[in-house]
Structure 1
Amino acid sequence: MDKSLRLSMSATVGEAKAAVTALLLDQGFDIRERSDGLEADRTPAPRAKATKRPATRFRVRFSSAPDGAIVDVEPITGAPAVRTTVAMMRERLVKKGLLSAEPDAEAHAVERDGIDADAAGDEVPRRADGDETADFWPFDQLTSPVDAPAVRAATPPLNALAVVSLVLGALAPVGGIVTGAIALGHIRRTGERGRGLALGGVVLGSVLTTVLSVSIVAAVGLLLVPSGAGTPNAAGEPAAAAPASPTATVEEGASSSFAPEVGQCFVKRGAGEIGEANLVDCGVPHAYELYEQFSLSGDEYPGDDLVARDSVGGCRDRFADFVGMDYDESRLELVYLSPTVKEWGRGDRIVSCLLADPDASVTGSLRESQR
């Protein structure tokens, strides 16, 4: 038996058969089960057929040995290409730890240009154009980019929350903001598609929230103005309008009369609302924990985008001090509450930073959890 066509594997016969089958399938061979082992064949690519190279076909037999299993390869057609295949299998089995490198392995190694030591003395056929060429090619030369079908990289899946955030951004703006923020965190960790959709949900939800807030404040103001307001009084001066009562400003569902404090925990209501109605003891399962508060600066309201940027940045900077690890390495998410333009006008500059586990409810505090 040609030593270059025999493999001594440190595995059982069943394990050896499975490993050899996987390697041959990986090299593009068709495998058929035989009573005494396997039969493998591979038809040359179209360009290879044009050079009249034969198909590569051989049998593989397995037998037990004291230290494992013996694999014998018997060429049927295309013997040089069979030796190439066995040499490639030998190299990969050594790397997998299933085959010990043999002292004379180099004597039977097949060079990558397709000619091995045993075939060096074989007659080298000539093509019609006079160039010399071996009567076989290694597997990676049997096809070319022209012959081989195009291989496309797998497209990452679309994040479902990103789609939901865009829909909620139009139908339930606050839900679009919260869902979009969570989706962006998932996409950052998993590499899924949909970042544009999630950003669209956040932006659309923010815009509609601002518009709805202004509309509600304007409507309430009109309802509170007395019918005689704006008409001249007896002295020829306009009558003073009755002072408007304070109106509730909604930010993530929390009214201005409720001031959350560091250390408080909240269960989830609706699309992530925070308020007295969902305030709970941190010892029971909850969705959010308020871990830090800080103030923004400035006399004039800087605009929604700058408030959002400074709020997120401030909460991220304070994340590691509470959790015990950097935000980019954590699987936890952060949610923030920032002042609206009306609250800013009343002197409110407080930003509240909250923690949330996107995968499950939390029992107890997340301080130094390093999650």
Structure 2
Amino acid sequence: MAGQRTRAAGHRRAGLTRGTTMTDHPAALPPQPPTQPPRPTTGWAIAALIFGIIGGAVIGIICGLVALSKIKTGRFAGRGLAITGLILSGLWIVIGIIAVVVLTLLPSDTDDHFVPAVGTCFAAEPDGNFYESDVLSCDQPHKVEVFAVFTVPGDQYPGDAAAEKFVDRCNSEYAAYAAEDAPNVDIEGLRPTAQSWGEGVRTIKCLAVSEEPLTGSVKG
């Protein structure tokens, strides 16, 4: 009996030893990486976005490029803001180019009221209005030369009859302008009408008109 109790006690001690060993050595947890503080957003990126929104395209592009160079160092954030600012600035530039092209191609209202200078020549007599794009040097073949320009006084349109009397002044103006050996030309005048007066036309243009092209001025 004593031998049996001894063996039983031995078994109990062995079981306690095994249980104690499992409790004293828990499973190890994997090491956690150290947390990094968030990178601050560079002010250049914010500036690029702001100028891109308000239309400061050139400044927006400069700020965006500086922001991207700073972000590449890894110390700053804001790449999305910088790229958005660059895109918006680029759009403003494209819109500006399109606007310039459209304005250049559109006919100008002020061109309808172009007043040629004295001594200006044109290839042909105008149909109502002169256009600056048609001006020629009098050394080139031409049929029309402007030899006098004067303004009709007053704020109200004087009427067709009175306007025609102002045109008669072109005869005396030509006598003072032309050379004695000037070729034969017709003297004509372009005067305002009631409609063009309302559009701001106030001048009478005196013209020396030739049926055949002339080279050189009739001026004395």
Fold shared, TM-score > 0.5 on shorter chain: no
User: If the length of structure 1 is used for normalisation, what is the TM-score?
Assistant: 0.27
- TM-score where L is the length of structure 2: 0.43
> Larger C-alpha radius of gyration, 1 or 2?
2
Higher relative contact order (CA 8 A, sep 6+): 2
Structure ranking higher in helix proportion: 2
